[in-house]
Amino acid sequence: MDFLEKLVIPATTSHLYLLKVMLILSLLIFIPFLGMLIGGTAFSVIFNTYGRKIKSVLFVRFAKDIIDKLAINRFVGVGLGVVPLLSITFCYAQLLYQVNVICVSLLFMATLFMIISINFIYSYQNTFQIESLVGTLTSISGIYKHEIDVKIPEDIIDYEFDLMNANSNSGLYGLIMLLISGFFFTAGTTIALYSDRYQDFQNIAQIFLSGASYVNFLFLLIISVAVTGSAILFFFFSWQGGLFNMDKEYSNFVKKIAGNIAFTGAALLPIVIFMSFFVIPNVALSGSVFMWTGFSLVSVLMLCNFIYAVIKNSDLKYISAVFYFMILSVGFIVLINQSAFATASIKNLETISIKADELEKEKKSKTVNTSGVNGEEVYTRVCAACHKFDTKLVGPPYDQTVPTYNGDVKKLASYIMNPVKKNPDYPPMPAPPIKQKEAEAVAQYLIDKVSGKK
Ligand code: HEC
């Protein structure tokens, strides 16, 4: 993806710092949402398929509520899914400027798959709504069946059948695309840590050989399970008062299942944190990697405790604590990865800022040249006919006259623009055909040259 390389310019030191902050913020938004979307879609599809098979209204209703609450709506999907991922891709493109490695292309493909999957997922979400509308219609027409004998019910049943198929298919496709996107994303961010082995990762086929990418993909899946469980608890019971029309049976059902999902995910987190820690290459290890790993383990421990409290005592007051500790844990995990990347990319970042400074300089000298105010050029073009530095020509030698201006460029320039009679040994100097800018440039040039600077 060479065009991405061309889009970015090397960043200066302060710009690099800003990029890192932006990258961490985007990841903090993106990872929890990605987890919620992967887990939400997966569990919704599973409960939907299974629920229809065993004809359980409870399961299907749960499937609908999950995708409603966790995927929220299309705008949120774009805002918290696509936009942060784009900005993550852009940040990596800048931080890996001119490094020959597949990471940025992988992230770019992750973004494309994300866009496709979002389309599927929200049409999956949508079919539930149409379905419940059709359901209402069927039951209404069912009530009046004996009174009016019309064909509508059959049509509706046909329609509902098609809809059910489309429904489960688009959910499944969305999930598959999302998993592909997630895999490319983890592969991209994982390979970025191997700065000593970038030459091994030049094309897509090679990423499948990266064991660390699989470990981190597993990590993402476990995060998704934990985030999803906590998010179901949070959005069903806590956020804005929770769901309203929950009867006792449904509410107990949700609490039990979501509690178990959250607990399973959270309990597995320490294992994958360790696994992912051991695949961090030496070039990326630093004290802060150890520190954030420690913090994330403590935070996950707290998380498990709060989830346990919710399950055990079915105490709803801990649900927001569960959600916040979940987000906090994800935050620490992001920081592990980013401090590792910062260490791995130190050398490259140095090269980038040096290059940026060079480019900056080049730009400056260019602006002087191109806008036509090169002092030396003005001198040879206009003044050299009558002036030399060391000998008398038509006018007096500069070595004698210029020092009397004591380095005052403005004063000399204004003389050049409007010469006045000075030395009786010479004829008057005609006003040269030049602009103010050129006069200033040539004045600067003369002063520099006479004082030996040039
Ligand atoms: C047609 C010939 C001619 C050209 C072209 C010309 N000069 Fe002169 N210049 C003179 C003469 C003659 C004098 C002496 C005038 C005097 O002393 O009154 C002079 C004097 C000067 C002095 C000395 C002023 C002082 O304080 O004693 C400077 C500085 C100078 N010129 C700069 C320039 C520059 C810069 C250019 C080109 C942009 C230029 N001149 C182009 C003829 C010329």
Q: Of 184, 307, 231, 206, which is closest to residue 72 (Cα–Cα)?
A: 231
pLDDT value at residue 366: 41
393 lines ligand 1 (CB under 6 A): no
Range of lowest pLDDT (24-38, 54-68, 125-139, 237-251)? 125-139
d(CA 56, CA 67): 17
Q: Of 307, 296, 305, which is closest to residue 260 (Cα–Cα)?
A: 307
pLDDT-based confidence at 369, cuts 50/70/90?
A: very low
What would the pLDDT profile of 30-75 be if each residue is shown by its tens digit?
A: 999 999 999 999 999 999 989 888 888 889 889 999 998 898 889 9
Residues 160-176: what's their mean pLDDT?
80
What would the pLDDT profile of 385-443 be if each residue is shown by its tens digit?
A: 999 999 999 999 999 999 998 888 888 999 999 999 988 889 999 999 898 888 888 99
384 lines ligand 1 (CB under 6 A): no
Domain boundaries, the chain: 2-356, 372-450
Angle between helices 287-313 and 248-278 (to 10 degrees): 160
375 lines ligand 1 (CB under 6 A): no
387 lines ligand 1 (CB under 6 A): yes
CATH architecture for residues 372-450: Orthogonal Bundle (1.10)
Ligand 1 centroid to Cα of residue 407, in Å, is 17
401 lines ligand 1 (CB under 6 A): yes
Q: Mutation test of ligand 1: which of 378, 379, 408, 429 has the most ligand atoms closer than 8 Å to its C-beta?
A: 429
Q: Whose CA is nearest to atom 26 of ligand 1?
A: 401
Q: How many CA atoms lie within 13 A of 224 on its CB side?
A: 20
Which residue has better confidence, 15 or 268? Answer: 268
The backbone region for 98, taken as left when phi is positive above 0, alpha when psi lies in -120 to 50, beta otherwise, is left
Q: Whose CA is nearest to atom 22 of ligand 1?
A: 401
